[in-house]
Amino acid sequence: MTFDFDSEMNRLGTHSVKWEFLFDKGRPQYGDHADPKHGRNRILPLWVADMDFCSPPAVVEALVARAQHGIFGYTAPADSYYEAVIGWMARRYGRTVERDWLVLTPGVVPAINMLVETFISPGEKVLVQRPVYYPFFSAVENNGGEIVSNSLVYADGRYTMNFDDLAQKAADPAVKMAILCSPHNPVGRVWSREELTRFGEICLANDVMVISDEIHCDLIHSGHTFTSFGSISDEFAENSIVCTAPSKTFNLAGLKTSNLVIPREDWRKPYLKTLMRHGLMGTNAFGVVATETAYNEGEAWLTAVMAYIEENYRFMVDYLAEHLPQLKVVPTEGTYLVWVDCRALRLDPAARKELIMGKAKLYLDEGEMFGAEGEGFERFNIACPRHILAEALERLREVISGQ
């Protein structure tokens, strides 16, 4: 079966955050300036992490059938739902997960917030690895925790973990939790088994619980292998809570359905209590249908979309090498996000924003959002038809060479 990723879908009128709510000066604005009628003046949004592609046809059909039923009452996942999730994890990552370990939560970001709320007392510390997905910061800070960064090291165009620093910081008795981003947003690393093992051993030795956010785990580029943290050993499984979702994989973020793997009963129970305290025991009626169908029938689509994203990636790398060699692409191993070192432009964040957003009308995620370690970088979301990516890069070339 072939899938069409080249045609542009008009997302206006769908309440799309990416296309219609273009955050400017910290305020969401409803963006009629994103109207395709504005032609080359329209804003191209390559920021928030969803795809401009339709979900797998089987998922769309299952949702249409569900919608046509016409009754959208309270919903709980049936056996078939759990079988689909467990089957996917076993097939794709060789992880054996028991049904009781799975806890549904309406999104990974809400999950991380509630995990911090559940397990961190005021004044306790949580390790993150900046530059990293910025909602980790608010999840910790909004729930009484203190952030400690075991910042990644960027050398020779590649990011690695700093294990000496990790060992030193994890030894602080106030550090109780580490949030791992695996694969890593924004730097695009797919952590190797060896790296994860060193990370996990340091956390185990210091009694630090690991929250492994694996939401990007299905978006792996050729030549790289994803290892799920909990699949490495029983001790790692017991010392971790793995957060997964079909939302990045199959472009279902708006359906707010994610699955946490919590093998330890003494961690599951308090987390369930937190969910209960927030009244979050129900499930999105469309989310369960989409998740089950995607995991059962979406694999061919996923292979095709990843091939397209990898071609987009090669297109971008070649384009920048030829036309804007001062911008350095950090090699992407996983995710559809590309982290670009723009420091050679020698522009402060405000001037860069004016050039990219103001002049090129291109919405990216500025590196500074991911922590001070991201200063001078930009994150591009390349999960879009190639002609949009080409137009975005062309605009960038125009404004940079016209400076």
Ligand X SMILES: Cc1ncc(COP(=O)(O)O)c(C=O)c1O
The residue (of 252 and 355) whose beta carbon lies closer to ligand X is 252
Tell me if 178 sits within 8 A of 349, measured CB to CB. Answer: no
For the CB of residue 245, give the shortest distance to ligand X in the complex, in Å: 5
Rg over alpha carbons for the chain, rounded to the nearest Å, is 21
232-261 footprint of ligand X as x/- string (CB under 6 A): -------------x-x-----x----x---
Q: Which is nearer to ligand X, 240 or 247 (CB)?
A: 247
CA dist., res. 70 & res. 257, Å (int): 21
Residues contacting residue 337 through CB under 8 Å, at least 6 positions apart: 49, 185, 186, 188, 379, 380, 381, 382
CB 298 within 8 A of CB 85: no
User: Contacts with ligand X in 2-21 (CB under 6 A)?
Assistant: none
- CB closest to ligand X, residue no: 107
The span from the CA of 353 to the CA of 20, in Å, is 19
CB of 71 to ligand X, least distance (A): 26
Query: Which residue's CB is nearer to ligand X, number 135 or number 331?
Result: 135
Calculate the dihedral angle through the C-alpha atoms of 194, 196, 202, 206, rounding to the nearest 10 degrees. Answer: -150
Residue 141 backbone dihedrals phi, psi, to 5 degrees: -70, -35
Considering the complex, what minimum distance in angstroms separates the CB of residue 113 from ligand X? 9
Residue 403 CB, nearest distance to ligand X (Å)? 31
The count of residues interacting with ligand X (CB under 6 A) is: 13
Question: Quick one: which of 329, 303, 302 has its CA closest to 316?
Answer: 329
Q: Which lies closer to ligand X via its Cβ, residue 271 or residue 319?
A: 271
Within 13 A of 300's CA, how many CA atoms are on the CB side?
7
Q: Which is nearer to ligand X, 47 or 82 (CB)?
A: 47
Q: Helix, strand or coil for residue 23? A: coil
Compute, in degrees rounded to 10, the torsion defined by CA atoms 231, 235, 239, 244: 10
x/- letters, 117..136, toward ligand X (CB under 6 A): ----------------x---
* Among 213, 218, 373, 378, contact with ligand X (rule: CB under 6 A): 213
| Nearest-approach distance from CB 108 to ligand X, in angstroms | 4
Of the pair 133, 319, the CB lying nearest ligand X is at 133
The stretch near ligand X (CB under 6 A) out of 102-110, 190-198, 271-279, 326-334 is: 102-110
Which distant-in-sequence residues (6+ apart) come within 8 Å of 136 by Cβ? Answer: 112, 128, 179, 181, 213
Determine the Cα–Cα distance for residues 303 and 96; give it in Å rounded to an integer: 23
Minimum distance between the CB of residue 280 and ligand X, rounded to whole angstroms? 13
Least Å distance between CB 207 and ligand X? 25
User: Under rule CB under 6 A, which residues in 268-327 are in contact with ligand X?
Assistant: none
Q: From 20-28, 103-111, 204-212, 321-329, give the range in contact with ligand X by CB under 6 A.
A: 103-111
Other Cβ atoms less than 10 A from the Cβ of 300: the count is 13
Out of 44, 108, 178, 203, the residue judged to bind ligand X by CB under 6 A? 108
Q: Is 49 in the site for ligand X (CB under 6 A)?
A: yes
Site string for ligand X, 175-194 (x = CB under 6 A): ------x---x---------
Sign of CA dihedral 280, 282, 283, 286: negative
To the nearest whole angstrom, how small is the minimum distance from the Cβ of residue 47 to ligand X?
10
Of residues 51 and 355, the one with the C-beta less far from ligand X: 51
Task: Tally Cβ neighbours within 10 Å of residue 58.
Answer: 18
Question: Footprint of ligand X on this chain (CB under 6 A)?
Answer: 49, 107-109, 133, 181, 185, 213, 215, 245, 247, 253, 258
